[in-house]
Amino acid sequence: MSITFDEEHAVFSLETPATSYIIAVVDGFVGHAYYGKKVSGSDAAYLLRTNEPPFVPSKNERERLSFYDSFPWEYPCGGIGDFRESALCVRTAQGHNAVCLRYVSHSITPGAAELEGLPAVTGTAGDCATLSLLCRDDVTGLEVTLLYTVYEHIDAVARAVRIVNNGTEPLYLTKALSAAFDTDNRDFDLVTLHGSWARERHICRRPVMPGTQGVCSVRGEDSHQEHPFMAVCAHNADDDSGDVYGFSFVYSGNFTAVAQADQFGSVRLLMGINPESFCWKLEAGGCFTCPQVVLACSSEGFNGMSHIYHDLYRAHLIRGEYKDKMRPVLINNWEATYFNFDTDKLVSIAKEAAEDGIEMLVMDDGWFGKRNSDDCSLGDWNVNEAKLPGGLSRLVSEVNKLGMKFGIWFEPEMISPDSSLYRAHPDWAIAVPGRTAGLSRCQYVLDLSRPEVEAYAYNSVASVLRSANIEYVKWDMNRQLADIGSASLPPDRQGELFHRYVLAVYRMQERLITEFPHLLLENCSGGGARFDPAMLYYSPQIWCSDDTDAVERLAIQEGTALVYPLSSMGAHVSTCPNHACGRITPFKTRGYVALAGTFGYELDITKIPAEDRSLIPGQIALYKKFNALVRTGDYYRVASYSRNNEYDCWECVNKDKSEALVTFVQVLNNPNYHSRKICFKGLDPDKTYAVSYPDDEQEKRSMPSVFTGSMLMNAGYTIPRMWGDFQAKLIYIRETES
């Protein structure tokens, strides 16, 4: 059993294969005793330090506040004298804010916690168990259940919180975070992911300093700018060694992720819905569920942490038909045509794409209403027959006749002021009465907290899907939320709008994949602004970034792969000069970089240079040959261009260590230099491996090709020199007879 309770010492032990998470109850207060490398022995309560001043209130009532302010809480509350950042704050009907939670009871059940209306990691009795720790505040009547799902075979603990108002009056939750983690500061660094449009999820690392630091979003989605993830690690932790603690938030709206170093050398980490603009009215008897935070703890550095998240999210978060399947190679017309297309143009792209082995045509933005630019028609989800004569059925059947699948783009959460929908229902847009709402990309956001608006948005998508053989949807979201106001919520519930919006998106996507179980859904948000674990619960892949430049993608994909499996990263080959940055890179390199994701094309195949075009069938063959390895294997960061400013290298190794694929990108050439010696990772030191270049005949002939795993990992492998910048090599390693 992965969860045990030692009644004598009031200690809960949550055990994963390599870690222990220990909770102890003293004086009725639920404390965090330990999280890290596996330990044995049951009386871990001493780790709470309650045998030293200020002791516990039952022994030292006069210093109760000192106790509150130094105790390592599992779930710290505001207003009682723990002056550090809190996880829970309320405003009662009388206007007070104090809450103090005491242990009441617990249960340990097989399987994963289910969170009403929220995405969460899944599991059966054989995979995981859940501890539910019930705590109560006697004054307000609040009952708070701390939920911990612990996996048998993966070093992950998923936390969530359920809050019930068992008092007699309504109260307001002004802050309801999902997880807190108090620990000694062992010279920690904080790692977060930052960026902007076209530069998402760049890794940022700095020491944890006294005071509060962290990342947050108030944009209504996770955003291009900040990401709902943080890790703390030992200062000397690197890709392969050292303690790393990851916190990944299974949520798609406003979030906060905070590290606070305090006066006693402790660090408190907190993660949850951002309290800014949040205020949730909890009626007597009402329940609020805080979204899940997944903790991953590894003593094998960041690669170890990535393996935990990748394994967990592949097996226990991503669902549906495509969960364990190779995705069709697609071609998307966005960068090929933008809004300027018609049926003939799309069919001409599809024809040539089919000849090269591409399997699906995706029609992007611009097929509905009168949308010939981005300033109109969102909400009017009727086919523009001027562009697509004969409608979708004709286009889809032409594409299907070529042996290709057909996919389509939507942006269901939005409304253009220039649309029939807005003219009929101006109050359906999120806005503050009396204040002109600000436009972004010339559009407003639909108030999805209203059931009729949610129903309209859902039916707009579903009725199109019911009308033709559409096998893929790209669900886009191209602006962030501001001027927060709903025409239908009462004043004391306006603070719920952000969260209600997110819950409606989840409901719509759940409905969509239930009604269309064979649909391949790809989430997207102006590139990768909503790339998070929650969206992966609905769509097995997410568009990683609008920046498809092979060099820019290195940092974006490195940061994304820190948490998310490669199987989920939307990655395409696009044309040059690149549309986001103007850089020119070899078609071959663009292909190698896109092979680390779902793979596809984002270009006008009828116009690209013949030399590039001739490479497409070979690229698709590589994708088919190696996708299983990339999709299911262990990902290793080998070298990082973001850190060394010269080259990048990553590796995928299958679970039995019999095969690996290494991608090496020489971003900048170094004149008059040795070959690069790279130590591969994750192989079996005692196995013998043949090393080959699956895409490079010349190198194949000239290199010695058989090595032991220990040689490749410890002594290294010399990557042949390449002439020029932006060059790349794909290296295949396969177990062979010695």
**Interface stretch with ligand DGJ, choices 131-139, 291-299, 522-530, 585-593 (CB under 6 A):** 522-530
- For residue 164, give the nearest of 76, 285, 77 by alpha carbon: 285
Indicate whether 21 belongs to the interface with ligand DGJ (CB under 6 A).
no
Chain centroid to CA 668: how far? 30
When the beta carbons of 354 and 524 are compared against ligand DGJ, the nearer one is 524
Give the tokens for residue 392: 């979708």
Nearer to ligand DGJ, 27 or 375 (CB): 375
Nearest CB to ligand DGJ, comparing residues 366 and 633: 366
Tokens linked to 106: 């617990």
CB of 623 to ligand DGJ, least distance (A): 20
Part in contact with ligand DGJ (CB under 6 A); list of ranges 215-223, 280-288, 520-528, 688-696: 520-528
Q: Is 365 in the site for ligand DGJ (CB under 6 A)?
A: yes
492 included as an active-site residue? no
Tell the burial category of 17 from Cβ atoms under 10 Å away from its Cβ (0-12, 13-18, 19+). exposed
d(CA 324, CA 511): 21
Mask of contacts with ligand DGJ, 280-319, x by CB under 6 A? ----------------------------------------
Nearest to residue 476, comparing CAs of 341, 381, 603?
381
Of the pair 471, 476, the CB lying nearest ligand DGJ is at 476
Q: CB 543 → ligand DGJ: shortest distance, Å? A: 5
Instruction: Give me 480's structure tokens.
Output: 């962030």
- Give the residue with the Cβ less far from ligand DGJ, 57 or 527: 527
What does R_g of the chain's alpha carbons equal in angstroms?
27
686 is catalytic: no
Within 89-148, which residues bind ligand DGJ (CB under 6 A)? none
- The amino acid that residue 38 corresponds to is K
Buried b (16+ CB within 10 A) or exposed e, 345-359: bbbebbbbbbebebb
Q: Does 549 bind ligand DGJ (CB under 6 A)?
A: no
631, containing H or E segment = helix 616-632
Closest CB 330 distance from ligand DGJ, rounded Å = 12
Q: Which residue, 632, 663, 661, 628, is CA-closest to 648?
A: 663
Q: Is 409 in the site for ligand DGJ (CB under 6 A)?
A: yes
Give the Cα separation of 514 and 528 in Å (integer). 24
> Which conformational region is residue 377 in: left (phi greater than 0), alpha (psi within -120 to 50 degrees), or beta?
left
Number of other residues whose CB lies within 10 A of the CB of residue 330: 25
Q: Which is nearer to ligand DGJ, 374 or 725 (CB)?
A: 374
226 or 476: CB nearest ligand DGJ: 476
527 binds ligand DGJ (CB under 6 A): yes
Question: Is residue 524 within the footprint of ligand DGJ (CB under 6 A)?
Answer: yes
Q: Judged by CB under 6 A, how many residues of this single chain contact ligand DGJ? A: 11
CB nearer to ligand DGJ: pick between 222 and 735: 222
CB of 624 to ligand DGJ, least distance (A): 24
Q: Is 543 in the site for ligand DGJ (CB under 6 A)?
A: yes
Q: Within 9-95, where are the H helices?
A: 64-70
Does position 217 interact with ligand DGJ (CB under 6 A)? The reply is: no
- Enumerate residues 581-640 that contact ligand DGJ by CB under 6 A: none
Q: Could you write out the three-class secondary structure of 504-546? A: HHHHHHHHHHHHCCCCEEEECECCECCCCHHHHCCCCEEECCC
Decide: is 364 part of the binding site for ligand DGJ (CB under 6 A): yes
Compare residues 208 and 524 and give the one whose CB is closer to ligand DGJ. Answer: 524
Q: Answer yes or no whether residue 367 interacts with ligand DGJ by CB under 6 A.
A: no
Q: Which stretch in 97-105, 386-394, 503-511, 521-529 sits in contact with ligand DGJ by CB under 6 A?
A: 521-529
Cα angle: 485, vertex 490, 493; to 5 degrees? 75
Indicate which single residue of 471, 476, 549, 558 sits in contact with ligand DGJ (rule: CB under 6 A).
476
Would you say 364 or 558 has its CB closer to ligand DGJ?
A: 364
Give Cα 222 distance to the centre of its chain.
9
Among 365, 418, 476, 612, which one carries the catalytic annotation? Answer: 476
Tokens 């497409």 correspond to 616
CB 679 within 8 Å of CB 714 = yes
312-351: which residues touch ligand DGJ (CB under 6 A)?
A: 334
Using the rule CB under 6 A, is 413 a contact of ligand DGJ?
Answer: no
Taking CB under 6 A as the binding criterion, the range among 74-82, 125-133, 523-531, 666-674 that sits at the site for ligand DGJ is 523-531
Nearest distance, CB of residue 604 and ligand DGJ, angstroms: 15
Both structure tokens of 90: 């309320």
Closest CA to 101 of 46, 72, 64, 143: 143
Rama region for 731: left / alpha / beta (φ>0; ψ in -120 to 50; rest): beta
Q: Supply the minimum distance, in Å, between the C-beta of residue 48 and ligand DGJ.
A: 48
218: tokens are: 């108030």
Q: 243, 546, 547, 648: which is the annotated catalytic residue?
A: 546
Torsion sign over Cα 529, 532, 536, 541: positive
Nearest alpha-carbon partner for 305 in 669, 718, 637 = 637
Tell which one of 526, 533, 586, 597 touches ligand DGJ (CB under 6 A): 526
Rounded to a whole number of angstroms, the minimum distance from the CB of residue 335 to ligand DGJ is 8
Binding track, positions 46-75, relative to ligand DGJ; x by CB under 6 A = ------------------------------
**Residue 84 carries which DSSP code?**
S
Q: Which of 449, 478, 557, 560 binds ligand DGJ (CB under 6 A)?
A: 478
Locate 25 and state its tokens: 């109850």
In 375-429, the DSSP E strands lie at 405-410, 414-415
Cβ-proximal residue to ligand DGJ, closest one: 365
Q: Closest approach of Cβ 602 to ligand DGJ, in Å?
A: 8
Residue closer to ligand DGJ (CB basis): 112 or 414: 414
Tokens of 74: 């599992």
The span of 136-144, 389-397, 519-527, 682-690 binding ligand DGJ (CB under 6 A) equals 519-527
Per the document, the length of the chain is 738
**Tokens 């190696």 — which residue?**
626
Which residue is listed with tokens 């997110």?
502
Q: How far is the CB of 475 from ligand DGJ (least distance, A)?
A: 10
**Residue ranges in contact with ligand DGJ by CB under 6 A:** 334, 364-365, 409, 476, 478, 524, 526-527, 543, 546
Residues taking part in catalysis = 476, 546
